[in-house]
């Protein structure tokens, strides 16, 4: 039944988008280019170290967005549903990491008589690894139960129904966290070795640019996790099964794949990634509170769509891209940082107008969209 008609028959009298799209695109790209010229060439307002700083923070936040976006994309690729509660899963991971650091902080490992030394300061590597393990495990568990309770019974319902269920679950988890842990904003207690703000210094144009340890950790770990996931999806049996289920559930079931189990595992994997992102968020930004998942959740969802939802490299690209736009965009265009989300959304809309299934999205057949 799949009709791969890339261009529908032109029976319309007028094709509005044919006229509007180029005009719209020209306007937006023209103004962007003009602003870029103003800021970069005409005014030369900022020197190199500023751009390096912006680039660094963009890459770090982009890595976090990408990890969360992969969670959206994995679930979407298989179930065609937007897991609106994904940001809350990340929040749960952040809290789990927070509690682990608090626990390791409270254990004193100093010898008798010497000044107190907490476990997390004495063994920073072990406690960070532990925090990631705990954060990922807890978030993965939360993802598993979320799917089991709120989505599985709706497997056969119309597509928007699980979305509403997800919104409800998101409300529930957010408020549960508020009631459990109070709405207070808390600080992550990083091990001394990777205290926030400390890092390697680069000297550019005579001024210091800091690459923080936490930032480097966030960026490198997120890249590693993404590569790991990509390899897993492409090479392992589970990955193959996931791809099979994503392309056709019924056929996959006929091939002896346990569809329910694969979906469960997908939620576990996406939860684990969100948990890792949450712990990174905590380590790098230091904040944890019940609302911490909301904004990154929306942003990462945007990133996933930008890259082409359902497409794993697309989510990575989209996340990085969004992070960089947010960080570089306002400065490069000489616009107030208050409007950075506007810039991000406008660029996203323009990209989607010209590539309606995202940057890397496959050109979907009419049926599937």
* Residues in 113-152 at the binding interface with another protein, rule: CB under 8 A: 149-150
| 40-59 residues near another protein, rule: CB under 8 A | 45-47, 49-50, 53-54, 57-58
Which one, 106 or 228, has the nearer CB to another protein?
106
**Cβ closest to another protein, residue 137 vs residue 178:** 178
Using CB under 8 A as the criterion, what x/- string covers residues 81-100 for binding another protein? -x----------------x-
The mark string for 318-347 relative to another protein (x by CB under 8 A, - otherwise) is --------xxx-xx----xxxxxxx--xx-
Side-chain half-sphere CA neighbours of 356 within 13 A: 9
Q: Which two tokens stand for residue 234?
A: 């492409």
Instruction: List the one residue out of 305, 300, 333 whose CA is nearest residue 89.
Output: 300
Examine residue 362 and tell whether it contacts another protein (CB under 8 A): no
Q: Which of 26, 33, 192, 197 binds another protein (CB under 8 A)?
A: 197
Nearer to another protein, 220 or 298 (CB): 298
**What number of other Cβ atoms are within 10 A of residue 122's Cβ?**
17
Distance in angstroms (rounded) separating the CA atoms of residues 301 and 62: 13
The 291-320 site mask, x for binding another protein (CB under 8 A), equals xx-xx--x--xx--x---x-----------
How far apart (Å, rounded) are the C-alpha atoms in residues 12 and 207?
61
Interface with another protein, residue 191, by CB under 8 A = no
Residue 211, classed as helix, strand or coil, is: strand
Q: At what angle do helices 86-106 and 294-307 cross, to 10 degrees?
A: 130
Among 113, 158, 206, 256, binds another protein (CB under 8 A): 158
Contact status: 30 vs another protein (CB under 8 A): no
The answer to the question of residue 275 lying near another protein (CB under 8 A) is no
Q: Give phi and psi for 83, each to the nearest 5.
A: -85, 85
Q: Of 171 and 235, which CB lies nearer to another protein in the complex structure?
A: 171
Total binding residues toward another protein, as defined by CB under 8 A? 119
Residues 9-28 within binding reach of another protein (CB under 8 A): 9, 11-17, 20-21, 24
Q: Give the gyration radius of the chain's Cα atoms.
A: 23
Out of 41, 115, 203, 250, which residue is the one contacting another protein (CB under 8 A)? Answer: 250
Helices (H), 248-364: 249-254, 259-285, 294-307, 312-333, 340-354
Give me the helix-helix angle, 160-181 and 86-106, nearest 10°: 30
Regarding 194 and contact with another protein (CB under 8 A), the answer is: no
Position 265 contacts another protein (CB under 8 A): no
For tokens 């569809």, the residue is 259
Q: How far is residue 130's CA from residue 356's CA, in Å, rounded to a whole number?
A: 42
């Amino acid at each position: 039944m799949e009709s791969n008609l890339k261009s529908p028959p032109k029976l319309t009298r007028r094709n509005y988008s044919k006229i509007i799209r180029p005009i719209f695109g020209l306007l937006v790209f023209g103004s962007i280019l003009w602003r870029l010229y103003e800021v970069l060439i005409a005014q030369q307002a900022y020197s190199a170290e500023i751009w390096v700083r912006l680039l660094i923070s963009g890459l770090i936040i982009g890595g976090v967005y990408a990890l969360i976006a992969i969670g959206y994309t994995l679930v979407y690729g298989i179930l065609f549903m937007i897991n609106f509660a994904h940001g809350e899963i990340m929040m749960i991971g952040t809290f789990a990491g927070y509690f682990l650091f608090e626990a390791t902080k409270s254990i004193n490992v100093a010898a008798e008589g010497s000044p107190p030394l907490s476990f997390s300061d004495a063994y920073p590597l072990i406690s960070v690894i532990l925090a990631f393990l705990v954060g990922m495990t807890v978030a993965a568990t939360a993802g598993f139960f979320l799917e089991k309770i709120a989505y599985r019974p709706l497997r056969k319902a119309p597509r928007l129904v699980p979305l509403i269920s997800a919104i409800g679950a998101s409300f529930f988890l957010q408020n549960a966290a508020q009631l459990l842990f109070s709405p207070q904003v808390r600080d992550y207690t990083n091990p001394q070795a990777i205290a926030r703000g400390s890092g390697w210094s680069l000297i550019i144009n005579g001024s210091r640019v800091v690459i923080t340890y936490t930032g480097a950790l966030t960026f490198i770990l997120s890249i590693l996790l993404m590569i790991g996931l990509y390899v897993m999806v492409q090479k392992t049996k589970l990955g193959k099964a996931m791809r099979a289920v994503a392309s056709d559930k019924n056929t996959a079931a006929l091939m002896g794949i346990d569809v329910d189990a694969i979906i469960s595992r997908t939620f576990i994997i996406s939860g684990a990634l969100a948990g890792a992102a949450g712990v990174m968020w905590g380590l790098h930004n230091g904040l944890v509170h019940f609302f911490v998942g909301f904004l990154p959740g929306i942003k990462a969802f945007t990133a996933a769509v930008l890259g082409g939802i359902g497409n794993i490299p697309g989510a990575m690209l989209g996340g990085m891209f969004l992070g960089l736009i947010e960080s570089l965009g306002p400065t490069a265009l000489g616009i107030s940082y208050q409007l950075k989300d506007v810039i991000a959304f406008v660029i996203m809309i323009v990209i989607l107008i010209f590539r309606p299934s995202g940057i890397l999205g496959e050109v979907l057949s009419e049926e599937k969209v």
